[in-house]
């Protein structure tokens, strides 16, 4: 049986904890709003880019001079996985979900006899994957988007990856990140980015007669060679933005739960405290009464 | 022949935001193979851009001058979409900062030792130079 003083102390510390978690929840909520806004204003560029690419691809025929980012290296032996998490924890299962998905993809690729290399964005991905995948861990990025995700940061990551690709370090690049589905749901998603899959299929054949014929300045291949790395950077940027919004949403939910748990705990402890207090009062009364009777 | 009063949708987007979206009479775009003016009913073109200034015309006046640091433009007969790497209204460029940036890159360029670094710096230098030029006080 803990003493009254112990109970009082633990009630006080749980109350303090609740203060901290609910403050963190508020901070996460306001950061989430900002992150969502940012993701929204970045949307038009990504949409227009996708639009141009699909119109370009409508009548594109790959040739030997096509950019490598589009056609691939002709192999799919070495896979580069880009794992995106946050730098900071206390966000529920946010980071471990992304890392678990990464481990699943790694196992699958290894089972298929592929080679896997890792590139991480966010400190948590590095820390978690270093334990069991240290030999695959290559470049790591940290401190991206600590205030807001700038496009130049995403571009930096993208350029590093494209350079690695051009140096022939890998054949296929897949990004694994938490897609922001809603405030209460972030889905770990793996998306292949290199080689880039042009939207093809039915629309191509149907629109064969009426498809618009663009003039290109300079040539089509040169434009694609410039567009594709841009598009790649945009996709990385989109993933980083999604991840940033998801992190705040996950933290908000986690802190909300923690606050509620702390509240429950305070109630339970208070009840025990009151019982113990009453028990000791009763005990003292019995002592006084029985002492009086004995006289 | 295109009617003079016909407008077309002009859109300028940078990765971080939608900068401008409005019906305009004419836009003059710094294509990588030379400036070109876009009117409604223009033929279909996709072009890369060089760093420079886009002029947006409403009627007989330039209503907007926007600096772009490169990118792409897609032109159809009713629409013109510019995907810019960096877009900022010319009026908002800080001339002193742009100049300092140019000088800094200039210095880095002179000190760069590898061919790759030189190539990258050269591109950034071109953007910085165009930005300074856009403020109306050329570097030279």
Please report residues of A whose CB lies closer than 8 A to that of B31: 217
pLDDT computed for residue A234 by the predictor: 92
pLDDT computed for residue A29 by the predictor: 95
Percent of chain B scoring above 70 in pLDDT: 94
pLDDT computed for residue B140 by the predictor: 57
CB pairs under 8 A between A and B: 74
Instruction: Find all residues with CB under 8 Å of A148, minimum gap 6, and list them.
Output: A34, A35, A38, A244
Measure the CA–CA gap between A92 and A95, rounded to whole angstroms.
Answer: 8
The tally of domains found in chain B comes to: 2
Helix (H, G, I), strand (E, B) or coil at B46: strand
My answer on whether B53 and B76 are in the same domain is yes
pLDDT greater at residue A102 or residue B129? A102
pLDDT computed for residue B121 by the predictor: 84
Q: ipTM score here?
A: 0.80
Phi and psi at residue B23, in whole multiples of 5°?
Answer: -75, 130
My answer on whether B61 and B81 are in the same domain is yes
User: Hey, are the CB atoms on A217 and B46 less than 8 Å from each other?
Assistant: yes
Closest of A239, A92, A117 to residue A170, by C-alpha? A117
Residue B140 lies in a domain: no
My answer on whether B62 and B125 are in the same domain is no
My answer on whether B55 and B65 are in the same domain is yes
pLDDT computed for residue B4 by the predictor: 54
Residue B49 lies in a domain: yes
My answer on whether B64 and B119 are in the same domain is no
Q: What order of strands is seen across the sheet that includes strand A172-182?
A: A137-141, A115-121, A78-84, A172-182, A185-194
Please report residues of A whose CB lies closer than 8 A to that of B14: 45, 151
pLDDT computed for residue A82 by the predictor: 95
Name the packing angle between helices A4-41 and A43-57 (round to 10°): 50
pLDDT computed for residue B137 by the predictor: 65
pLDDT computed for residue A198 by the predictor: 64
Instruction: Find all residues with CB under 8 Å of A68, minimum gap 6, and list them.
Output: A165, A166, A195
My answer on whether B68 and B20 are in the same domain is yes
Residue B2 lies in a domain: no
B47–chain A Cβ distance below 8 A for any pair: yes
Chain A residues bordering chain B (beta-carbon distance below 8 Å): 38, 41-42, 44-45, 48-49, 51-52, 55-56, 150-151, 154, 212-218, 222-223, 226-227, 230, 233-234, 237
pLDDT computed for residue A203 by the predictor: 47
Helix (H, G, I), strand (E, B) or coil at A180: strand
Q: The domain spanning residue B59 has which CATH number?
A: 2.60.15.10
My answer on whether B87 and B98 are in the same domain is no
Measure the CA–CA gap between B127 and B106, rounded to whole angstroms.
Answer: 12
B45–chain A Cβ distance below 8 A for any pair: yes
My answer on whether B116 and B58 are in the same domain is no
Say if residue B133's pLDDT is above 90.
no
B72-124 residue pLDDT tens: 999 988 889 999 988 888 888 888 888 888 888 888 888 888 887 888 888 88
My answer on whether B126 and B67 are in the same domain is no
B11-70 residue pLDDT tens: 999 988 889 999 999 999 999 888 999 999 888 899 999 999 999 999 888 998 999 998
My answer on whether B54 and B84 are in the same domain is yes
My answer on whether B25 and B75 are in the same domain is yes
My answer on whether B38 and B97 are in the same domain is no
pLDDT computed for residue A199 by the predictor: 58
Domain that holds residue B17: 8-91
Chain B nearest CA to A66, separation (Å): 17
Measure the CA–CA gap between A12 and A198, rounded to whole angstroms.
Answer: 60
Contact A213, A121 (CB under 8 A): no
Report, as ranges of residue numbers, the positions in chain A whose pLDDT lies below 50: 201-209
């Amino acid at each position: 049986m803990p003493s009254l003083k112990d109970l009082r102390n633990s009630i006080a510390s749980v109350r303090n904890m609740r203060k901290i978690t609910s403050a963190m929840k508020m901070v996460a909520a306001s950061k989430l709003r900002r992150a969502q806004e940012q993701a929204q204003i970045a949307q038009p560029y990504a949409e227009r880019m996708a639009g141009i690419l699909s119109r370009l691809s409508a009548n594109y025929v790959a040739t030997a001079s096509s950019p490598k980012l589009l056609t691939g290296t002709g192999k799919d032996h070495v896979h580069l996985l880009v794992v995106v998490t946050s730098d900071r924890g206390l966000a529920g299962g946010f980071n471990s979900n992304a890392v678990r998905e990464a481990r699943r993809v790694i196992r699958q690729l290894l089972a298929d006899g592929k080679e896997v290399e890792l590139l991480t964005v966010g400190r948590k991905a590095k820390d978690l994957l270093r334990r069991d995948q240290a030999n695959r861990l290559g470049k790591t990025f940290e401190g991206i988007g600590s205030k807001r995700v700038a496009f130049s940061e995403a571009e930096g990551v993208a350029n590093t990856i494209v350079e690695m690709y051009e140096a022939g370090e890998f054949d296929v690049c897949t990004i694994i990140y938490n897609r922001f589905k809603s405030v209460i749901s972030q889905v770990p998603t793996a998306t292949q980015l290199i080689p880039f899959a042009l939207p093809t299929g039915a629309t191509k054949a149907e629109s064969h007669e009426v498809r618009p014929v663009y003039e290109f300045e300079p040539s089509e291949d040169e434009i694609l060679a410039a567009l594709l790395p841009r598009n790649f950077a945009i996709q990385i940027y989109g993933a980083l933005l999604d991840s940033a919004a998801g992190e705040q949403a996950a933290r908000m939910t986690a802190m909300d739960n923690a606050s509620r748990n702390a509240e429950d705990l305070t109630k339970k402890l208070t009840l025990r405290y009151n019982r113990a207090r009453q028990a000791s009062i009763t005990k003292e009364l019995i002592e006084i009464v029985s002492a009086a009777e004995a006289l | 022949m295109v009617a003079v009063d016909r407008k077309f949708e002009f859109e300028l987007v940078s990765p971080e935001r939608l900068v401008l979206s409005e019906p305009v009479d004419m836009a003059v775009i710094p294509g990588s193979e030379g400036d070109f003016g876009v009117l409604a009913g223009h033929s279909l073109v996709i072009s890369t851009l060089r760093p420079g200034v886009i002029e947006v015309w409403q009627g007989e006046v330039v209503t907007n001058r926007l600096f772009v640091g490169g990118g792409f433009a897609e032109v159809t007969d009713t629409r013109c979409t510019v995907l810019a790497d960096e877009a900022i209204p010319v009026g908002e460029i800080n001339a002193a900062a742009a100049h300092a940036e140019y000088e800094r890159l200039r210095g880095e360029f002179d000190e760069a030792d590898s061919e790759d670094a030189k190539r990258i710096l050269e591109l950034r230098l071109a953007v910085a130079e165009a930005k300074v030029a856009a403020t109306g006080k050329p570097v030279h």
